[in-house]
Structure 1
C-alpha cells in the first residue's frame, strides 16, 4: 500500500501566509522521510486573507528541491483557467529538473475571478456546459503539447526539454464517469471520496473495465488512487476535535481516530475499492497535530515511497 498527502493550505487562524508556507516545507520534508509516496497541493481561488497560495505552481520547485524521493505535484490545476501551452511547458521542465518526480493533476471547475487574460470569459454566470467544454478543449490541447512532439516540430513548436520525460498526468474526479475517455487520453485517476457530491460506492467492476481499456489504448497499466480526508491522533480524541474545528465541509466518509482505525479502514478501502494507493487530506490545523498524525499513520501502515 502507498499513501500520499494532499494539502489545501488551511492552518490554524493564528498563522499568517508565510508561516503556513514554512510549515508546509517542514510537513513535506517529514512526509518524504516517513515514506509517503506523493505530496500534492490544491489550486483554489477562494477569498481567504490567510491563504498561503492560490495556484501552487510556484511552490512545487521549492518543495521538490527540499525533498529527495517523494513525488511533488498539483492536485490539481484548474485547467479551464490556464493556458495549456504554459502548463505543458512548466510541468515538463519541472519534471526533468527534479528527477522525474513531478505530478500534474487536472481538476474540474473554474475560478470566476479574472486571474489571467484568457479567463475573462469564465464568469460565474456561464453555464456548466460552457466550462466543461473549455476544460475538454484545454485537456486535448495540453496532451497534444506533451504527447506529439514530432508533429509539433513540423510546426516549429517545441516544449523543452525536447524528447524528455513527461510528468505523471492525473485526472481528479469524484466518480468513474467518462472513464472510457480518460483511458483513451492516457490519464491516471485519483478519485475523491471526501468532496461533496463524490460517489462513495465501490464500483470495482468499472475500475477493472477502465484498467482494461487503458491498457488496450496505451500498452501499460494506469495508476489509480483514492483521496480521503480525516485526522489521526494517538487515542483518537484529539483527532475528533481537530476534525470538528476544520472549516471546510466534507462528506461523511472520513477516517477520524487512532492509528489502528486508519489501518483497518484503509485495509477495507483496499479490498472494497480495489485500490492500493491513497491520498490523505489531513484536516488538523496545528502543525504539531498534523505531524503527529502522519507519523502515527506511517508507523502503523509501514508505508514506503
Structure 2
C-alpha cells in the first residue's frame, strides 16, 4: 500500500509561522527519503494556528527542496478563484517540476463571509458554481473547452507536454460525482467527516469517466494518524491534537498546545464527548495497530493509497510518527540528497 501526507503547517504554542513552515520543509524532505508517494499542503486563511495560506507558493518551495516526491495542494479553494488563473499557476509549476505536481481542489468557502469577500475582492461567488468551475479548470488544462465556450480561443500557458494531476477533495457523493465526471482523482476527507466515505468512494468508482489524461480512476482517503512506539505514548501525543480539534470547532486560538497543557486543561462533559467523537477521524497507536487499521480503511475505500495527517505539538515526535509508519508498511526509501534531513 502507498502512503502520502497532507500537511497544514500547524503552529505549536510558543512557536511561530516561520518555524512551522521550516518544519513543513523538513517533513517533506523526510517523506521523500522514507518513500511516501505525495506530499500535499493546505489552504487556510485568517487563522493563528495554520501557516499554509498559499499552496502554489509553498509547493514551489517544497518541490525545489526535493527531487522525486509528488507535491500538491490539498487543496486550492476553487470557488474563490478564476479557473484560468489556477490552471496557469499549476501548469507553470508542472513546467518547473515535470511529473511531480498535483492540483487538488475543493469546494470549501475557506471561511466566513468576510474572508470569502476578501478573497474574491468583494465579488462573492456562489458555491453552486463549483461543477462549472471544475469543468472550466479541466478544460483550460486540457485545452479542450467546448466550441461555444466564451474562452475557447484562450491559450493556457506555458505550453508543456505534461499536465499536473487533478484531484477533487470532498466529503460527499456529490463531490465524488464531480470528480468522476471530470476524469480527476478523488480524495475523501475522512479526517474531517468519516460518515460518508464508503458511499462516496463507491459513487466515484462506479461513475468514473476515463480520459486520455486519466484512463483509470485514482482514489485515496485522508485520515488523522498518531503513531508511537507504545500505545500509551501515542495516546499521550494525541491529546495535543484532541485539544487542537476542539479549539478549531469552538472558533478559538488554533495553535497546538503541549501534551502537558492538554492534560491540565479542564474539560466539560460535552468536551469529552466531542473528543471521543473526533477520535473516529483518527488512528492512534503502535505501528502494528496503525498499519492494521489503515489496511482496513484501504479496503473500505477500495484504494491502495492512504493519505495521513498528524497535527501534534512536538515536531520531532511528529516526524517519528511518520518514520514508524513508513517502516511498518516497508515503504521503499529513496536515496537521500545532501539537503535531506534524517532522524
TM-score of the alignment, normalized to the shorter chain, above 0.5: yes
Would the alpha carbon gap of residues 91 and 216 (structure 1) be closer, same or farther in structure 2, given more than 3 Å must change? closer
For the Cα contact (< 8 Å) 1:175–1:198, is it kept in 2?
Answer: no
Contact kept? 2:103, 2:166, Cα under 8 Å: yes
- Report matched runs for 1:222-241 at 5 Å: 222-241=217-236
CA distance in 2, matches of 1:73, 1:6: 9
Q: CA deviation at 1:286?
A: 1.4
Structure 2 partner of 1:103: 102
| 3-state SS, counterpart of residue 252 of structure 1 | helix
Indicate which of 170, 173, 177 corresponds to 1:176: 173
Counterpart CA distance in 2 for 1:234 and 1:227 is 22
- Please give the per-residue CA displacement for 1:42-65, whole angstroms capped at 9, x wherever unaligned: 1111431x5423222211111001
The 3 A distance-change label for structure 1 pair 80 and 276 is same
Deviation at 1:206, TM superposition (A): 3.5
Which position in structure 2 is the counterpart of 1:36? 36
Q: Relative to structure 1, is the Cα distance of residues 181 and 6 closer, same or farther in structure 2, using a 3 angstrom cutoff?
A: closer
1:115 to 118, 122, 142: 118
Moved more, 134-143 or 224-233: 134-143
2:167 and 2:152 map into 1 onto residues whose CA distance is 27
User: 2:98 & 2:178 partners in 1: Cα distance?
Assistant: 29
Instruction: Verify: 1:275 aligned to 2:300, yes or no.
Output: no
Whole-angstrom CA distance in 2 between matches of 1:270 and 1:194 = 14
Q: Does the Cα contact within 8 Å between 1:102 and 1:167 map onto a contact in 2? A: yes
Query: Among 139, 143, 152, which residue is 1:144 paired with?
Result: 139
Paired residue total: 293
Q: Which runs of 5+ in 2 are unaligned?
A: 247-277, 335-343
Which residue matches 2:67? 68
Closer, same or farther: CA 252–42 of 1 in aligned 2, 3 Å:
same
Contact 1:73–1:105 at 8 Å: present in 2 too?
Answer: yes
Gaps spanning 5+ residues in structure 1: where? 123-129
1:14 matched residue in structure 2: 14
Query: How far off its partner does 1:283 sit?
Result: 2.0
For the residue of structure 1 that corresponds to 2:118, the secondary structure is coil
Residues in 1 aligned to 2:200 and 2:24: alpha-carbon distance in whole angstroms: 34
Which structure 1 residue ranges, 4+ long, deviate > 6 Å from structure 2? Answer: 216-219
User: Would the aligned equivalents of 1:9 and 1:51 in 2 still touch at CA under 8 Å?
Assistant: yes
- Kept in 1: contact 2:227–2:234 (CA 8 A): yes
When residues 155 and 143 of structure 1 are mapped into structure 2, their CA distance, relative to the original with a 3 A threshold, is closer
Contact kept, 8 Å, 2:29 with 2:65, in 1: the verdict is yes
Q: Is the 8 A contact 1:259 1:296 kept in 2?
A: yes
Change beyond 3 A, Cα 1:160–1:204: closer
- Contact 2:183–2:211 at 8 Å: present in 1 too? no
* TM-score, normalised relative to structure 2: 0.78
Where does residue 90 of structure 1 map in the other structure? Answer: 89
Partner residue, 1:126? none
- Following superposition, the deviation at residue 134 of structure 1 comes to 2.9
Secondary structure of the equivalent of 1:115? helix
Would the aligned equivalents of 2:79 and 2:133 in 1 still touch at CA under 8 Å? yes
1:121 deviation in Å? 3.1
